[in-house]
Structure 1
Amino acid sequence: MVLVGAVRDYLNRMLNDIPGMKVLILDAQTVGIISVAMSQSELLQKEVFLVEKVDAQAKEAMGHLKAVTFLRPTVENIQHLKRHLNNARFGEYHLFFSNIIKKSYIQILADSDEHDLVQQVQEFYADYFAIDPFHFTLDLPANHVSMLPTVVDPHNSQQACDRMLDAIAAVFLSLKKRPVIRYERSSEIARRVAQDAARLMYEHEQGLFDFRRTEVAPLLLVVDRRDDPVTPLLNQWTYQAMVHELLGIQDNRVDLTKLPKVPKDLQEVVLSSQQDTFFKANMYENFGDLGANIKKLVDEFKVKAKSNQNIQSVQDMVKFVENYPEYRNQHGNVSKHVTMMTELSRIVDERQLMAVSQTEQELACNANQAVAFEAVLNLVNNEKAADIDRVRLVMLYALRFERESPQSVEQLISRLSARTSKHKAALVHTLLKQAGFDKRTGDLFGNRDLFNKARTLARGLKGVENVYTQHQPLLAQTIESIVRGRLRDIDYPFVGNHFQQGRPQDVVIFMVGGTTYEEARSVHLVNATQTGIRIFLGGTVVQNSTSFLNDLEEMQRVQKVERGSFASM
């Protein structure tokens, strides 16, 4: 529960130390930060009887309640707090901020507190969404900005960099660590975020980050999503990643309102490894094993339900009433997982994803150009194939063979244009421009050096347990290099005069442009099998193929506007 535990610890300290009935005042970001770490029933147990947004219109006064605010320390939130204090509705105010607050902001609040209602002002460093113990995200709006050159949209680019810096700082303050910092050489924005982080931790807030030294300093590595555009384009076949790919997960919640005949209590369900023991045990299981485990879950519930029906005495009735909340929770849990499994199976059949995914995996892991071309062409021409699957297949082919066979890439783009639209087909060129061979640092397809070629060949000779999960994200190679002390300085330089010898115990990898649940699974496997090292993964958003394609569309749109502006000058 490392990151989740850190956020929960802050929340417990915030709420347990203030006795009595409370109202919790949040902003748009801290609503999500709290919701992934603590359930509504837990908040109620801590005497939180009302939750409000800080920018909501003023309502009636409730002097019997104590206001607990948990906000990001932004200009907008300070102005909202100033309004709250000028027109106080609650008996007292306890102000908590999710990150470092400027002294000038504290002065503004002090000047606004004319009735001496503010009891305390504290910094609790929970400025990130801890969706799993070793995986965090920012839910960054307009994520495409983080994957564009800064000159294209300098204002929004600066805002994105500032938000990334805030989250990275909060994570290390939560962990009570100060790292050495490295970044991906080919990424301008990764370099910028890394350098900003170094200035904050080693200059501007040096005292705040002055934690006890370890023999080998922790590592912050800032990388770019564009270095591995393959992983977010692939269909997924493990539970958590598959749900996100086909249904979507937002703040550990799945929206099922669009599904036919879904009961009202299942229209939004929570998928949290902290709140759902079945999900925790099965979130990384593949689709086949998952089906068997859900069947076992149903069978176990049937046995319990049958025993509950056999009420023959007062003692039986008392026992049933005592166990009823647990029984009801188990009933809801079984219904939730059966409903999602049913819908996943329906989508797989409807979109013929078994055939599509097999071709995707071949493109990602093998290199027979002629066979790949025929397979992709057949699926592009397949009447039953979904447009999103056609686009993804051509993109994967283009990434694999852009240098080896550019003519065949153009042939597939032309065919894609005829089957979908010119706009969607043009996204392939956008992808190559943003994340093609010349833009990448890592050895994405294992064909740049003999070591990676040998490893890829060995994996192919051994075979894989499941043809649909044979792909390994580039991040897995990067982590392996870190664990072995082989991360190349020329590809991932250090910031400043810092250097690192030996294997760090704590590594935070931050991915500009977003992570995936497949990469989170790779991190989980390392943490579960490697002793003496903890890997944390964070990023601007959690991507699936739909969100990744949406980002490409936004990049395409912005670049068209930029070219139009340039042409009119």
Structure 2
Amino acid sequence: MVLVSAARDYINRLLQDISGMKVLILDSQTVSIVSVVYSQTELLQKEVFLVELVDSISKSKEPMSHLKAVYFLRPTLENIQHLRRQLANPRFGESHLFFSNILKDTQIHILADSDEQEVVQQVQEYYGDFVAIDPYHFTLNIPSNHMYMLPAVVDPPGLQHFCDRVVDGIAAVFLALKRRPVIRYQRTSDIAKRVAQETSKLMYQQESGLFDFRRTEISPLLLIVDRRDDPVTPLLNQWTYQAMVHELIGIHDNKVDLSSIGKLPKDQQEVVLSSEQDAFFKANMYENFGDIGMNIKKMVDDFQQVAKSNQNIQTIEDMAKFVDNYPEYRKMHGNVSKHVTLVTEMSKIVEEQRLMLVSEMEQDLACNSGQVAAFEAVTNLLNNENVSDIDCLRLVMLYALHYEKESPVHLMQLFNKLASRSPKYKPGLVQFLLKQAGVNKRTGDLYGDRDLLNIARNMARGLKGVENVYIQHQPLLFQTMESIIKGRLRDVDYPFVGNHFQQGRPQDVVIFIVGGATYEESRSVALQNASISGIRFILGGSTVLNSKRFLKDLEEAQRIAKASTNVV
């Protein structure tokens, strides 16, 4: 069972057994959980005539006793308080309470005490406390994602809240999969260790009965790693379809906001990019940009053929046939318009921001060695007024991550050039990145032993003529998966929690990246799952990163760290 079908199954179950007109009441996080796996049309088919947020329901006084309230909420203190008030003065004929994670006994007692008018028909736990954006990729959409970079002394309450949300999300995934894993973590990361230990405590002590599923010969593996072990991947421009849309325009809960682009019709100002709902996107989400252009042209040609045949309506039978096919025709028209708009907009951004020039250098910094040539090339781009300030910042960061130990003088020259070019991007942010994710902090081998492999791989690509310089890079996650497949993930680098060890290769592996995953990494997971390794990988993260979000988290963590230092 993959994550999308697990989440859909929960939503199906909480809606289908309650007959009659319903209002679905969600919170700010469960609205994401539902929206990525269920469309508005499907909700209407289940007789859901209204979708409301729980806090807006609290503000309204209008009685709606003809509707049945179906609540699907995270079991947070805030949501329990909303429910307590709403049950004390019920507006709906009956209420059905579903929670996306484990309820505490105290919370159940509060709800029971509040239901004086006995409108509550049932209270259930449906473990869908994750956003299943793709079959093998989930996110937790944590807004305060920068917390993973802060030492515990800076903001203990905020950091604990962050850890609690990560543990809750991981627990829900395994409850949905009906498995209990052995747990490993990245040794060099305090936050990965903390999350791993708290997850283990929940699964093996506090809620051991809940996780006591039928044993399998080899337990699944949960591996918790830190985003800072691979800071390169979220800094790169992307050239495969899904990752590129997120980098250049932005995707949130499988939706793309196009309202700022020209004069689009209202129904095209927000479009859905879901592999479950869009066959063209599913077939092309991991293809590179050049192939996407050709595939969209073919889709346009096919649509024009369909449109032309519809123009030849000459008989009543032709007209009846067209009316029957009209919904499919409209859907096809909308899909063509959506993908043409996206690719046209991205082509414009690539041209305006000179991204082919910038990206070629980025890939070189990520994949190849040669410090002197890299320094000269980055210097030339910093002198190019057509290259944006943020691209210059990312280039200096990529250079610094690769060559921080090789030539401090060159690095300082780039810092000074960046600072003189734009006061907004002071070199302090690059230095903060090195402090957070420099070579002394990382477990994985981002550069060292890979140079020879890269040369061989690039030669092979050149011979095949299939790949191009813009998608040479492979995230560190790819190496990690290969190590797991070959049984070579070193215990010293990725220790087990407690006394739980693994004999043999796991068949199911969940890799969770504290600090966020990228669509480039989810592509690696999907391609790996399509191979015949016999292991199924699932990728999770505290958010879905692009370079803007990664830099925003870095800036916020730097600001808080600096403020706490000044206070001390």
Q: Aligned to 2:20, what secondary structure does the other structure show?
A: coil
Q: Name 1:202's counterpart in structure 2.
A: 204
For the 8 Å contact 1:147–1:512, the answer to whether it is kept is: no
Kindly state the Cα deviation for residue 532 of structure 1 after the two structures are TM-superposed.
2.1
Tell me which residue corresponds to 1:413: 415
* 2:44 is the counterpart of 1:44: yes
Residue 316 (1) aligns with residue 318 (2): yes
- Separation in 1 of the partners of 2:9 and 2:527? 26
Compare 1-10 and 509-518 and name the one that shifted more.
Answer: 1-10
Distance 2:115 2:19 in 1: 22
Q: Hey, what does 1:157 align to over in structure 2?
A: 159
Q: Mapping of 1:136-155 within 5 angstroms?
A: 136-155=138-157
3-state SS of paired residue (1:269): strand
Structure 2 residue identity aligned to 1:21: M
Q: How does 1:321-336 map to 2 (within 5 A)?
A: 321-336=323-338
Aligned to 1:9: 9
Give the superposition deviation at 1:195.
0.3
SS at match of 2:112: helix
User: SS where residue 305 of structure 1 aligns?
Assistant: helix
Aligned to 1:18: 18
TM-score (norm 2): 0.98
CA–CA separation in structure 2 for the residues paired with 1:416 and 1:295: 41
Corresponding position of 1:253 = 255
- 2:102 aligned with 1:100, yes or no? yes
SS at match of 2:122: strand
1:6-405 to 2 correspondences below 5 Å: 6-56=6-56, 57-405=59-407
Tell me how far 1:453 sits from its aligned partner.
5.1
Secondary structure of the equivalent of 1:510? strand
- Whole-Å separation in 2 of the counterparts to 1:323 and 1:479: 45
CA displacement at 1:531 relative to structure 2: 4.1
Distance in 1 between residues matched to 2:181 and 2:448, nearest whole Å: 30
Distance 1:303 1:73 in 2: 52
SS of residue matched to 1:535 = strand
Aligned 8 A contact 1:229 1:435 in 2: yes
1:407 Cα shift? 1.4
Stretch moving more, 335-344 or 111-120? 111-120
- Structure 2 Cα separation of the partners of residues 231 and 149 of structure 1: 23
One-letter amino acid of the structure 2 residue matched with residue 456 of structure 1 = N
1:385 Cα deviation from its structure 2 partner: 0.5
Taking the aligned partners of 1:166 and 1:29, their CA distance within structure 2 comes to: 13
Q: Which consecutive residues of structure 1, in runs of 5 or more, have no partner in the other structure?
A: none
Partner residue of 2:454?
Answer: 456
Partner SS, residue 181 of structure 1: strand
Bigger drift between 177-186 and 495-504 goes to: 495-504
State the superposition RMSD in angstroms. 1.1
CA shift at 1:216, angstroms? 1.2
Query: Following the alignment from structure 1 to structure 2, what is the Cα–Cα distance between the partners of residues 215 and 147?
Result: 37
CA contact 1:391–1:424 (8 Å) conserved in 2: no
Contact kept? 2:368, 2:451, Cα under 8 Å: no
Distance 1:355 1:423, change over 3 A: closer
Q: 1:491: which partner in 2?
A: 493
Q: Is the 8 A contact 2:485 2:533 kept in 1?
A: no
Contact 1:446 1:456 (8 Å CA) reproduced: no
The aligned counterpart of 1:521 is 523
Report the CA distance between 1:457 and its aligned residue. Answer: 4.0
Maintained 8 Å contact 2:97/2:122: yes
Deviation at 1:444, TM superposition (A): 1.1
**1:431-470 equivalent positions in 2, closer than 5 A:** 431-447=433-449, 452=450, 454-463=452-461, 465-470=467-472
Deviation at 1:422, TM superposition (A): 5.5
Within 2, Cα distance between the matches of 1:48 and 1:121?
Answer: 19
Q: What displacement does 1:118 show?
A: 0.6
- Percent of pairs with identical residues: 68
Per the alignment, in what secondary structure is the counterpart of residue 260 of structure 1? coil
Q: Quote the offset at 1:454 in angstroms.
A: 4.3
Shift of 1:463: 4.1
In the aligned structure 1, how far is the partner of 2:425 from the partner of 2:313? 64
Q: Which amino acid aligns with 1:458?
A: A
* 2:292 aligned partner, one-letter code: L
Provide the C-alpha distance between the structure 2 equivalents of 1:176 and 1:416, rounded to a whole number of angstroms.
51
SS of equivalent residue, structure 2 residue 427: helix
Q: Spell out, residue by residue over 1:122-166, the C-alpha distance to the aligned partner (whole angstroms, 9 max, x if none).
A: 000000000000000011011101222222111110000000000
In 1, Cα distance between the equivalents of 2:185 and 2:399? 28
> Per-residue CA shift, 1:292-311, capped at 9, x if unaligned?
00000000000001111111
Counterpart CA distance in 2 for 1:563 and 1:423 is 21
TM-score normalised according to structure 1 size: 0.97
**Distance in 1, Cα, partners of 2:45 & 2:296:** 31
Deviations 1:8-39 (A, max 9, x none): 00000100011111000110000111001101
**Paired residue secondary structure (1:55):** helix
Deviation at 1:446, TM superposition (A): 3.4
Query: Quick one: structure 1 residues 488 and 334, their matched pair in 2 at CA, closer, same or farther if it must change by over 3 Å?
Result: same
Structure 2 Cα separation of the partners of residues 342 and 76 of structure 1 = 44
